[in-house]
Amino acid sequence: MPSSLAPLHVGLAGLGTVGAGVIRLLAANADLVAARAGRPILVTAVSARDRGRERGIDLAAFAWEDDATRLAARADVDLVVELVGGADGPALTLARATLGAGKPLVTANKAMLAHHGLELATLAEGAGAALRFEAAVAGGIPVIKGLREGAAANRLARVYGILNGTCNYILSRMAAEGLEFADVLADAQAQGYAEADPSFDIDGVDAAHKLALLAALAFGTPPDLSLLDVEGIRQVRLADVRQAEALGYEVRLVGLAERLGDALAGRVVPSLVPRAHPLASVTGPLNAVVAEGDFVGRLLFVGAGAGAGPTASAVVADLIAIARGEAGPAFSTPAAALVPLAAAGPERRTGRFYLRLRVADRPGVLAELTAILRDSGVSIESLNQPASGADGTALVVMVTHECAETAARAAVERMAALSAVAEPPLLMPLLPTEG
**CATH number of domain containing 287:** 3.30.360.10
Task: Classify residue 402: in a domain, yes or no.
Answer: yes
Pair 125, 171 in one domain: no
Pair 154, 188 in one domain: yes
User: What pLDDT score does 174 carry?
Assistant: 97
Pair 126, 171 in one domain: no
Residues 6+ away with beta carbon under 8 Å from 149: 328, 332
Pair 124, 224 in one domain: no
The residue out of 253, 272, 304 marking a domain boundary is: 304
Q: How far is CA 331 from CA 124, 223, 294, 390, in A?
A: 11, 9, 19, 55
- How far apart are alpha carbons 350 and 345 in whole angstroms? 11
Task: Classify residue 414: in a domain, yes or no.
Answer: yes
Q: How far is CA 26 from CA 19, 84, 276, 395, in A?
A: 11, 19, 40, 55
396: domain CATH number is 3.30.70.260
36: domain CATH number is 3.40.50.720
Task: Classify residue 313: in a domain, yes or no.
Answer: no
Task: Classify residue 175: in a domain, yes or no.
Answer: yes
The residue out of 111, 136, 161 marking a domain boundary is: 136
Pair 256, 399 in one domain: no
Q: Which residue, 398, 323, 395, is CA-closest to 37?
A: 323
The residue out of 244, 270, 304 marking a domain boundary is: 304
Pair 118, 207 in one domain: no
Number of C-beta neighbours around residue 246 at 10 A: 11
- Specify burial of residue 86 (Cβ count, 10 A radius: 0-12, 13-18, 19+): exposed
- Active site amino acids: 210
CB 268 within 8 A of CB 259: no
Pair 147, 296 in one domain: yes
User: What pLDDT score does 2 carry?
Assistant: 47
3-state class (DSSP) for residue 72: helix
Residues 6+ away with beta carbon under 8 Å from 78: 8, 9, 10, 103, 104
> How many distinct structural domains can be found in the chain?
3
* 49-61 pLDDT, tens digit each: 988 788 888 898 9
Task: Classify residue 435: in a domain, yes or no.
Answer: no
Q: Which residue, 301, 203, 247, is CA-closest to 430?
A: 247
Task: Classify residue 221: in a domain, yes or no.
Answer: yes
Full domain range(s) for residue 424: 347-429
Task: Classify residue 127: in a domain, yes or no.
Answer: yes
- How far apart are alpha carbons 346 and 271 in whole angstroms? 16
For the chain, the C-alpha Rg in angstroms (whole number) is 24
Number of C-beta neighbours around residue 9 at 10 A: 17
Task: Provide the whole-model pTM.
Answer: 0.94
Pair 148, 254 in one domain: yes
Task: Classify residue 64: in a domain, yes or no.
Answer: yes
User: What pLDDT score does 435 carry?
Assistant: 52
Pair 103, 149 in one domain: no
Taking phi first (over 0 means left), then psi (-120 to 50 degrees means alpha), and beta for anything else, what does residue 404 get?
beta
Pair 151, 293 in one domain: yes
User: What pLDDT score does 434 carry?
Assistant: 65
Residues of the chain with pLDDT under 50: 1-2
Pair 255, 353 in one domain: no
Pair 152, 110 in one domain: no
